[in-house]
Structure 1
Amino acid sequence: MASRALKFGSHLKELRIHLCQTSNASKGVRDFVENYYVGLKNSNPKFPILIRECSGVQPRLYARYEFGKESCVSLTNLKAEDVIKQIEQLAQK
């Protein structure tokens, strides 16, 4: 997965990732940020990928599309590879 470049289409406007800095439920999301974020950002340099850390928050992924529509998926207890899969699914929606 890390070697494959993921390009976002013009229908997707923004990704927001919410996570906790210390909880076990957010461990996979923290691993995603460490291992995959740079490659994802390099593939989409002008695309806004926002990482929001807050103590005690449940990990979630928000995708904003054209016309202000949003989708949200839970990332609780997922591995970093599963986080990438969730991003791919929302990017194709």
Structure 2
Amino acid sequence: MSNSHLFLKSGFPRAPLQNGVGRYVCQLQRITLKFCKNNGSSRGMRDFIENHLLDFAKENPGIVVYVKPRRHRTPVLVAEYLNGEREWMSCRNNTQEEISKWIDLLKTQNGNSSSLRLRKMWHTEVPSIQGPWTPFLLRSPEATGQTYPNAEASKPLDTPQTATEKLIELFRQQQLEAGEEAHDALNKKRAE
């Protein structure tokens, strides 16, 4: 087993600021595009800046976009989130479409949660005061002393009559009454 988890921060998974309860708040605060003006590995980043950056900035007014040219360096995306986390991504030899996809991915994330060692797989802001649920919680006390198989416990429950069954029953009663009236009328004619 690896000991790499010893150096990670630990905590509980939780939605930042209960995001999505009232309205969605984009967690990406600012993104920095670092690139070289001459290097061939920055061609995709330069193409993205020339063709798609203005559209991205207009579509996402809540995200601050910085463009930082650097000499003889590989292109890098640096995303900073509202929770203070920073995510760094190398974009060496990526096309403008790939960079656009990476930026969309960074926009939909809520920070670098992969560098967090989880103590539990779930967390709630409002824990239950009623205690944990168990399968025996709403079970009747008489069922605890029974031995199975039990003929009485396997009987079907008396369920109330459905509306369809009630209509079928009324229809049959009407047919019987109509049949009896027709039979009585026949007997009267024969008697006369």
Matches of 1:47 and 1:66, distance apart in 2: 11
- Identity within the alignment, %: 26
Matches of 1:30 and 1:37, distance apart in 2: 10
Q: Deviations over 1:25-84 (max 9, x none)?
A: 000000000110010011123521001001111100011012210111111000000000
Structure 2: which amino acid aligns with 1:15?
I
The answer to whether the 8 Å contact 2:29/2:62 transfers is no
Instruction: Work out whether 1:90 is the aligned partner of 2:90.
Output: no
Listed as ranges, the matches of 1:7-86 within 5 Å are 9-86=25-102
Structure 2: which amino acid aligns with 1:34?
E
Structure 1: which amino acid aligns with 2:108?
Q
Matches of 1:47 and 1:91, distance apart in 2: 9
Q: Which of these two proteins has the greater Rg computed from alpha carbons?
A: 2
Across the aligned residues of Structure 1 and Structure 2, the Cα RMSD in angstroms comes to 1.1
Structure 2 residue runs of 5 or longer lacking an equivalent are 1-24, 110-192
Structure 2: which amino acid aligns with 1:13?
Q
The answer to whether the 8 Å contact 2:57/2:63 transfers is yes
Give 1 or 2: higher strand fraction: 1
Matches of 2:74 and 2:51, distance apart in 1: 20
- Tell me the TM-score normalised to structure 1 length: 0.85
Structure with more contact order per residue of length (Cα contacts < 8 Å, sep ≥ 6):
1
Q: Deviations over 1:4-41 (max 9, x none)?
A: xxxxx431110001000000000000000011001001
Structure 1 residue runs of 5 or longer lacking an equivalent are 1-8
Distance 1:89-1:32 versus aligned 2 partners, 3 A rule: same
Q: Which runs of 4+ in 1 moved over 4 A?
A: none
Distance 1:46-1:92 versus aligned 2 partners, 3 A rule: closer
